[in-house]
């Protein structure tokens, strides 16, 4: 059973057990435009909640991707390095950025639910 939550920085995070998969939302991918480069965190790196974890760049600009929850990087989606446009094509699926293990459930439940995020985006 997994659940997806969202941040006001437009990351999504899906929790399965104590492992979280992180990516950027459809809204973020559309706002960024065509993604041409991603920089992913190294496996084993520890990141705190809200810490800089990855970089996503469009033709025009570079943006940070923050870790919505704290944890240790267990995997990065290296397929994005060769095919960064996947972030635009399937931001909330194949376009995931990295996985974190050892995630504290308290970090996760603080984040916005799908409904709350939809409401948040509507207000932007």
Contact between 101 and another protein (CB under 8 A)? no
User: In this structure, what token pair is assigned to residue 78?
Assistant: 């290296």
Among 27, 36, 83, 120, binds another protein (CB under 8 A): 36
Structure tokens at 99: 């996985």
- Give the count of alpha carbons within 13 A of 31, CB side only: 13
79 sits near another protein (criterion: CB under 8 A): no
Piece in contact with another protein (CB under 8 A), picked from 3-11, 57-65, 92-100, 116-124:
57-65
Q: Which of 39, 72, 90, 92 binds another protein (CB under 8 A)?
A: 39
Half-sphere exposure of 104 (CA within 13 A, CB side): 9
d(CA 119, CA 58): 26
Is the CB of 31 or the CB of 104 nearer to another protein? 31
| Binding of another protein by 89 (CB under 8 A) | no
Question: What one-character DSSP code corresponds to residue 95?
Answer: T
Contact pick of 8, 18, 46, 62 for another protein (by CB under 8 A): 62
Q: Which residues pair with 52 in a beta bridge?
A: 66
Which of 8, 18, 81, 119 lies at the binding interface for another protein (CB under 8 A)? 81
The DSSP code for 90 is S
Residues of the shown chain interacting with another protein in the complex, contacts defined by CB under 8 A: 33-34, 36-37, 39, 55, 57-62, 81
């Amino acid at each position: 059973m997994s659940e997806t939550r969202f941040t006001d920085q437009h990351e999504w995070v899906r929790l399965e057990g104590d492992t979280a998969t992180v990516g950027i939302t459809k809204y973020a991918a559309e706002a960024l435009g065509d993604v041409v480069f991603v920089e992913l965190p190294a496996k084993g790196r520890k990141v705190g909640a809200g810490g800089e974890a990855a970089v996503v760049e469009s033709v025009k600009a570079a943006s940070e991707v923050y870790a919505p929850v704290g944890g240790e990087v267990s995997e990065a989606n290296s397929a994005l390095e060769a095919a960064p446009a996947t972030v635009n094509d399937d931001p909330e699926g194949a376009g995931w950025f990295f996985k974190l293990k050892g995630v504290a459930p308290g970090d996760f439940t603080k984040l916005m639910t799908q409904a709350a995020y939809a409401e948040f985006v509507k207000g932007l």
